[in-house]
Amino acid sequence: MDIFAQTTNFHSEGLELAEVYYPTYFQALAEERAIAAVDARHDFRTREFTDSYLIPFGITSMLDTPIQIDGKIAGVICLEHVGNTRYWTIEEQSFAVSLADSVTFAVEARQRQRAEESLRQAEEKYRSIFENAIVGIFQTTPDGEYLSANPALLRIYGNSSHAELVGTLTNVTQQLYVDHHRHAEFVRLIQEKGKVSDFESQIYRRDGSIIWISENTYTVCDRYGNLLYYEGTVQDITTRKQAEAALRLEQEKSDRLLLNILPQPIAERLKQDQSIIAETYTDVTVLFADIVGFTQISSQISPTELVSLLNEIFSTFDQLAEKHGLEKIKTIGDAYMVLGGLPMPRSDRAEAIAQMALDMQQAIAQFSHSHSQTFSIRIGINSGPVVVGVIGIKKFIYDLWGDTVNTASRMESHGLAGRIQVTPATYDILQEKYLLESRGTIEVKGKGKINTYFINGIK
């Protein structure tokens, strides 16, 4: 830091001594209170400096004493003699040590002063944060007694002062937490882990109203590990929780609407932003149903009555589809389409479709009786491979295509009122369990002649 040359009465600075180049010297400083080297160029403690320092500066004798701060060498006071060698007296050595002690005391005093100033500034800063924070800050005993609470916490809890908080909140479990088990969980976590983060609970305010809070709390212990108190923050998250609840409700509504349009597996894939969904299924059974004479019926009633009538019939069909684990695809006017084996494959798909068809006939019969009007339906069924997918970007629809679908539609349109007509492919699957009647060969548009069968019931 500073070199003073007495002969020239001049101070200089900037010279550095690297410990790595003078290991013996620094080792001696660590072990001795003072190095009094009469012949510095030959003394084993200082001779490392001979060529690089002592000879160039004409130094013959050295009296060095370390400055120690907190038990570590922080610097050195060096008294260096030029000319003839110098014998360092006891008084001179004591004087050098006292100089080093004086520097030590001065440095320690400055460090204490700086530490005290830093502590004062930190306390002022903490107090400002404590008083002006928008989140609640507190200290409590393990039993729940509030040692301190900032203005924000008082506002959150609805108290006018710290005295009111302490005077009225005597049992945290019973008076503060809406769910008493929630506080027990809080205590368990902080005892196990020493801290609790983002702990959300409902609490009672001073006026009895209920709000949501989020707590971050940790334990404060003495140096022996004994628990002193809990310290942490509280944030009012009521607005956020209300927004989350509203968003969750809207999400549930959206999901229900989506599931009314699409099968659940397809809806989940669509929510993952799969732009194109198209797959081939080899084994499905398709059912088409059509209300016979509905055009004539629709001309005799009002639009409102017409929609109400269709809604009642198709709602019954929807319940049957859900009962048998089948997938409703769509309605077109007075036609109803449902299939088995999609989107989840199943071995009894044809049996489930056949049973639904029989139930649909029974439902229409009951409907006719309750409305004192004759209703009947034609049903056509076919089994085989189909291509399924979601088409469109607005008002998209889950639909299926292929010869199996077209033939099932022809079975309905070429069928008879009140009967369930099936193809040979479906007949082969159902003949062991169901009563089937051969209709014979019929001419089917676009398909030519096909042997068809009627389902009359279960064997």
C-alpha span between 378 and 439 (Å, rounded): 15
- Tell me, yes or no, if 207 is annotated catalytic: no
* Omega before 343 within 30 of 0, i.e. cis: yes
DSSP state of 334: T
Question: Which is catalytic among the residues 59, 334, 420, 455?
Answer: 334
Q: In what order do the strands lie in the sheet with 210-221?
A: 146-149, 136-140, 227-236, 210-221, 195-204
C-alpha span between 188 and 47 (Å, rounded): 67
Helix (H, G, I), strand (E, B) or coil at 61: strand
Cα–Cα distances in Å, from 447 out to 83, 283, 332, 419, 438? 127, 20, 23, 21, 18
- Tell me, yes or no, if 334 is annotated catalytic: yes
C-alpha span between 215 and 60 (Å, rounded): 71
C-alpha span between 206 and 209 (Å, rounded): 7
> Between β-strands 420-422 and 377-391, what pairing exists: parallel, antiparallel or unpaired?
parallel
Question: Which is catalytic among the residues 203, 291, 313, 377?
Answer: 291
- Phi, psi (deg, nearest 5) at residue 229: -165, 175
Question: Which is catalytic among the residues 156, 290, 353, 364?
Answer: 290
- Tell me, yes or no, if 129 is annotated catalytic: no
The answer to whether the beta carbons of residues 415 and 444 sit under 8 Å apart is no
3-state secondary structure 188-228: HHHHHHCEEEEEEEEEECCCCCEEEEEEEEEEEECCCCCEE
Q: Which residues are catalytic?
A: 290-291, 334
